[in-house]
Structures are given as structure tokens and as C-alpha cells.
Chains A and B, each alone.
Chain A
Amino acid sequence: MNNVYYGKLVFELSKPGRVGYSLPKSEISGYCISEMPDVLKRQSKTILPECDELTVVRHYTNMSNNNFGVDTGFYPLGSCTMKYNPKLNEELCALPGFNRHPSTPVEYVQGSLKVYDEVQRTLAEISGLSRFTLNPYAGAHGELTGLMVIKAYHQQRGDEARTKIIVPNSAHGTNPASAAVAGFKVVEVKSLPDGTVDVEDLKPLLGPDVAGMMMTNPNTLGIFERNIPVIARLVHDCGGLMYYDGANLNPMLGVCRPGDMGFDVMHINLHKTFSTPHGGGGPGSGPVGVRKGLEHLLPNPQVEKKSDGTYDLHCDEKSLGCISSFLSNFTVIIRAYAYLLSMGKENIPMAGKLSVLNANYIKECLRSHYLLPIEGLCKHEFVFDGLRPEYGGDHHDPAHVTTLDVAKRLLDYGFHAPTIYFPLLFHEALMIEPTETESKDTLDDFIAVMKRIAEEARDNSEMVRTAPHDTPIRRLDDVKAVKEPKFTFKNL
């Protein structure tokens, strides 16, 4: 990453007559699209550029220099688990043997089906559940699939009255949004001052109209919900199912499994917990697991290991249906498989423990400068409620230095910002998740910078409020972006 702003668009590099591709000379003559009826043909020219190969290579390379990734520096983005993405995994998922048409007969893709089945089995053991589908494409897609499992479960029992899903008010936005797409009504349950679910607030919500409850544990504040056995029993007693949002699975690896906590259905974000790259926001992968007795509800098709050791595809009539064109974001699955094989049973649990060690270490080192709203051990992440009042963070003061200001100033020091203004329980939420792949040295640098920013906020708040100063571009006018929307080059 460098700080020289590039900013050009490929359309501005185009010159008529340049070519960036080469195709073989066609050996077949006598057929031409012009034979088709005119009404079926494209009428307009395209906006596509004309560029030679080096122009394109340099263009995207220059753009990449204005981008920050895990390989660039520390990326403590809470709830996103920005751990290191091993390079071996990239090499293996690109092997030509895996680039197969998805309708290839199963006899010719046994290797791919084995990867799928092995990952499925490994995730089931790590989660304490019975079986996984790897078909969902992302965490939110996994949530939607899991909620469909819950709905199908009730519908197939002939119980149509269960229309509600309970969601903690600290939940990720995708939880209520997924429940709405799956056709459920969303009911929020309150949190206690320590951030955990208020069991007394939950009790009156439970009844014959509850289909299930979604939780993540540890929750979005990084706090372990120690009442989980009680909550699971209450929900099960009223006939509902428990859904585990796997966004925060990382710290629990090998220590405490969702299945053992009482969850019936869950998803895992392979791009968080199992190290597949986040890719600028996608593609992800959101495998969904279920406890024994719910396997037949998983989406079609399923990969099946037969008694002779070969693999087949199988569709179940009672399945919730199809949720994807084919069989998963397959190259993401290969990357996760490489990670699981590399790490093995020795290191998977260590990943969770070190992520918790790193988070608690930062929390203890910075609480002198930032407001810690919840005491006690956190898991893989934790939340500050902005700067302490003595460092300019008093949000009753209209001139206070905000969490946004701190986040922007961090960029000047070469760190990615934490997640900000989430969860919504706090005014100035600053959510930090270091992950296990960061060294104490990196954390110490980060801590020193965070303290320095707090001191700047106290002594020279203008410097922080106008940050960033040292990035390719400065703060953006996002009001203008909404009010004068420009979504394409033609609008510029």
C-alpha cells in the first residue's frame, strides 16, 4: 500500500484500436451471428474499454497499491476475524484438476466430492453437530438456510403457528434480516448491562408461536453467554429450535462446541474461522450444520459417501429445497480443507485460545484510555465505548472526539480501523478483534498508537477530528454520495 492516490478508471485509459486478448483463428466458417433475426440482437455499442495487456496490468496493480489487506497490516475489524490467509491454500484451490464443470458425472469428480465430504465431517466434529451442508455461499446465506431448516422442521410436523424468531438486540443485522427473508416475524430480546441476554425478558416472549431463537456465543460484545444452558432449555421447552450464528466461533474452537451448548442448527463462516480470504467482501462460504434428526432437511443436493467408499450426489424429498445453482463456493471449500489439514487437532484449539489471549491483552492495556463498558474476561473480541472523558471522549460535550475520528486517525498510523458503531448498544462502540495470527509485537505497536491517539484527542483534538491526513485520499463526502448518486462511469 502506498499513499499516492491513483484514482483513474479503466475507461479513461481506453484508446481505439488497442487489444488486450488473443483468440485462435476460427477454423469454422459459414456461421455468423448476423444470421440471427435483428430483433434478437444487441442494438447499442458497449462502454467496454480498448486496452493492451500491460495497460490493464498496471491499472489494477496501481489500484491495489491504494488498498489495505491483512497482508498489508493489522486489521482488527471486530466480528470479521481477519486472520492470516495461508498461501498454500491459494495454490491448492487453483489446481487445474479442480476446475470441472458442475454437471460432470460423479465418477469423474470423486476427488472434489471427497474434499466436500471430508470438510463436512470435520466441521461436524468441531461443532458437535451431526451433519453439514457446504452449499450456502456466505454467512448471511447460511443464516437464511438455517432458518429455512427451522421452518421446514415445524411445517413438516404440521405446526404452522410458529411464526416468530427471537433475536437479541445485540445481534448482527443479518440475523433479523435473514429471519425476515425466511418469512418470520422478528422479536427482540433485551440485553442485561453486562451485555448478555436478559433471561427474564426472554421468558414472556416464549410460547407456541416461537419457531426458534438466534444467538451467537460469545455474543457481539465478545462476552460468553453463560446462561446458554438455561436459555436453550427454555426455548426447547416451548418447542422452538436454537440457532447458532457462527460469526464468533473462533474463540470456542476445541474448547466448547455449539452442539454441546444446546444449539440445533448453525452456520460457520469459512472466511472467518477457517482462514479463507475475505476477497474485498466475498466470496465467502457459510456451511450449515444440524443436530441428529434434522439432516434430511438440509438443502439439495447433498454429497453422500457410499459403503464402497465412493461418493455420490443425493437429493432428499423432505429437504428444504435448493438454495444454490450448484454445490457451494467450491474453491473456498478447498482452501478451508487445506487449512484444516494443516492445523490438525493440535492447533485448531490453540487458534481459539490465542485469539482470546490477544483480545484480553489489548483490552487490559487500553482501558486506561478508552471506556470499557463491560468488565471481566472477553473472548476473541471486545467493545470500548469511545475515548474516556478525560481524553476528550465525553459524548455529552458537542465538541467531543468521536469513535469515527479515532478510527480515521488509526489509518494515518498504518492500521485498519476496528468495527465502529456496532453493536448498537453503545453510543461510541469501537469493536476490536485481533485474531490469533497477530504477534505481541504488533499488538504492542497498536496499543502504543491507540494511546497516542487518545493523547492527541486530549491535546490536539483538531488533528484527530480532521484525520486521516496520510492516506491516499482524505475523508469523503458521503452525504453527497447519497444525494447525488453516481453509480457508473456514465454518471460522472
Chain B
Amino acid sequence: MAKVIEGLFYAESHEYVRVEGEYGYIGITDYAQSQLGNVVYVDMPEVDDEVTAGEEFGAVESVKAASDLFSPVSGTVVEINEALEEQPELVNADAFENWIIKVKLSDPSELDNLLDAKAYEAICE
């Protein structure tokens, strides 16, 4: 059974946002990493790039599949998780600990459109 954590915001496309003040940490869920299998590469945007809710900002690759990453919220990328450049398998080890990008939220009201843990758990079944 895939792990789901209370207090995060979830997108139906299997990304999460952990909000800390005006920033959001975006990654893929435990369910998403388990479906993908061994992650071998994470294609990330650059710092200062703009991301838009519902639009693609990168991709996660396993050996024989690739999955586009859709941003659950809009904002500006302030940090990327550089550890994933060398060790993409960290996403498999703990998808919630190993976020992919940190974004300064431009419209926190977008969070209202996302799912809570319980609702997300339901769509993973």
C-alpha cells in the first residue's frame, strides 16, 4: 500500500505540494514512484523559471517509461533539489522527503483546487 501523508495538497496527476509559508515544495507521491519503478533521471526546470498550475514542468524517467510532471500550483522556481541530479533513486527511497522543486507561490488560492490526503488516497485505490 502506497504511503499518503496528512497535511499535504495532492494533484490527480500524482504530484504533491508541501506548503511552508509562501513557498511550496513539489514532488511526486509515493504511489507515483511505486508505479514508475526505478527512477533513473529527473528532468527539472531551472531556478527562476515560472511554473503554471496544471502545466508541465519536467519529467521523471524510469528505464522503460517516462512520466511528465505537472505543477499543482503556479509560481516561480526558487530552488531545485540538486541531490536528484546525481541520485534520482532518492525519489524511490522516500518520495515525500525528496521533493523536486521549491516554488514561491503566486496564487495560494490554487491550493483549494487540490485534493487532501483522504481524497487522494481514494483515487489511488
Contact = CB atoms under 8 A, between A and B. Distances in A.
The reply to whether A and B meet directly (CB within 8 Å) is yes
Interface of A: 421, 478-479, 481-483
A475 to B, nearest CB: 12
A481 B88 CA distance: 14
14 contacts: A421-B64, A478-B63, A478-B64, A479-B38, A479-B40, A479-B63, A481-B63, A482-B40, A482-B41, A482-B61, A482-B63, A483-B40, A483-B88, A483-B89
Interface of B is mostly: loop
A230 to B, nearest CB: 33
A479 B41 CA distance: 11
Contacts of A481: 63
Nearest to A483: B40
B66 to A, nearest CB: 11
A482 B66 CA distance: 13
Interface string B38-49: 101100000000
A44 B123 CA distance: 59
Contacts of B61: 482
A243 B56 CA distance: 29
Contacts of A478: 63-64
B38 to A, nearest CB: 5
Contacts of B88: 483
Given A482-B41, A483-B40, 12 more contacts: A421-B64, A478-B63, A478-B64, A479-B38, A479-B40, A479-B63, A481-B63, A482-B40, A482-B61, A482-B63, A483-B88, A483-B89
A482 B60 CA distance: 13
Nearest to A485: B40
Nearest to B37: A479
Interface in B10-44: 38, 40-41
Contacts of A479: 38, 40, 63
Interface in B37-83: 38, 40-41, 61, 63-64
Nearest to A404: B64
A421 B89 CA distance: 23
Contacts of B64: 421, 478
